[in-house]
Amino acid sequence: MSIFRLLVPQSSVYHGCLTPVLVRALSSGPNISHSLKESYRLLQLPDIEHCSPAHVKEAYLRLAKLYHPDCGAPTADAALFARVEEAYRAVLAHQSKKKQADGGMEADDEDKSRTVAFQHRRYLSFDGMGSGTPSQRERQYRQMRADQASEQVLNYRHREHERAAAAEGALLERDVRQRSRKIKITQAVERLVEDLIQESMARGDFRNLSGAGKPLNKFQHNPFADPMTHNLNRILIDNGYQPPWVVTQRDIREKVTHIRSRLLEGRTRLGYPMTSQEHTHWEQLCASVEEDLVKLNKMVDNYNLIVPMLSMQMVHFKLSREVSRAEKEAHQHRLEQQKVGIQERERRKDEKKRTNTVTKLKNTKQSPMTWIYNLFR
């Protein structure tokens, strides 16, 4: 008892019992049950006092990867994982209780500091704005600053609008002057043209025109389209407009024609059958055409995405089909050339025969005359 009196001051003992301050000091030490210690030990957390929820979660995840039934590890154990999960929940509950207790003590300290603080210090911040608690005054001060900022923005926008309106007024006045000048010039030209037309009509230049008194047939009729749509399309075409899919379709046709002409010319130059050197040259030409066909098929894909009707879509161009087409056309061209050559030879033979017959006739006709001439000579 004497040792206890030496350790505890006399002011802390009041009527034979300990004061609340001493009770709080003695109760602040670690007071943990055996099951909770076992939970900490199971989670492998030796430092109980300085253990945070993040450490607890990290330890739980590490053990779950080892003992979870679905982890696929050789250490998987459903019963041990259940114990780990129960220990994790118990430790989290203890951590939350300890955090609440620490928060309550901090709140008590803050209340004491508020009672000790001077009352006039609350007027030293927030520009003396607002009333109530510091948090309420802070909200009022923030609202006041937001209102001031919005008012400044509105004033700035009003000034900018006034400045823009003044500049627009000057530009509008200049545009009006230029527009009026253009209108005067246009009206003068129209009056001149009208006078020339009236003079021509007075002279009778428009009396013998074909189709006089009949309506102008500007647009042709299309029974498969709406008249309004057809007329709008004609107007667009007359003004040089072409839809993107029409331009793409034209490019595809030109590209295909160029590729087929290359294949046909290259195959026509080669012999039939081809030699090894000609076969190598033909393979090189086919390889270059294949690269062009890849680009052409990309154009076909883009065309199929933008074409308005499904029936107008195209299929991809294949090298084998184009090569066979070129070989057939080259063979047909070769046959036509042979046929033309045969016809040319026959024509030359006929011409030669006719020339020989004409020469013989001339010789037969001239032979008596030649005899008489020789006789008198």
- What DSSP line would sit under 264-333, residue for residue? HHHHHHS-SS--HHHHHHHHHHHHHHHHHHHHHHHHHHHHHHH-S-GGG--PPP-HHHHHHHHHHHHHHH
The tens digit of pLDDT for each residue in 303-312 reads 999 888 888 8
4: pLDDT strictly greater than 70: no
Residue 85 near residue 75, CB atoms below 8 Å: no
3 pLDDT band (50/70/90 cuts)?
very low
- CA-angle at 130, arms to 129 and 136, nearest 5°: 125
Residue 272 near residue 332, CB atoms below 8 Å: no
pLDDT of 62: 85
The tens digit of pLDDT for each residue in 67-93 reads 887 777 788 888 888 888 888 888 888
Share of the chain above pLDDT 70, in %: 76
Q: Find the range with the poorest average confidence among 77-91, 124-138, 187-201, 269-283.
A: 124-138
pLDDT of 253: 92
17 strand-pairing partners: 14
300: pLDDT strictly greater than 90: yes
The H or E element spanning position 14 is: strand 13-14
Give 36-99's CATH code, choosing from 1.10.287.110, 3.90.1200.10, 3.30.390.10, 2.60.110.10: 1.10.287.110
Residue 96 to residue 359: CA distance in whole angstroms: 132
128 pLDDT band (50/70/90 cuts)?
low
Residue 81 near residue 68, CB atoms below 8 Å: yes
Q: Which of 239, 246, 308 is nearest to 231 (CA)?
A: 239
pLDDT of 302: 92
As a whole number, mean pLDDT of residues 101-120 equals: 52
Q: How many CB atoms lie within 10 A of CB 39?
A: 24
Who wins on pLDDT, 119 or 347? 347
Give the residue extent of every domain in the chain.
Answer: 36-99, 244-337
Q: What is the mean pLDDT of the chain?
A: 76
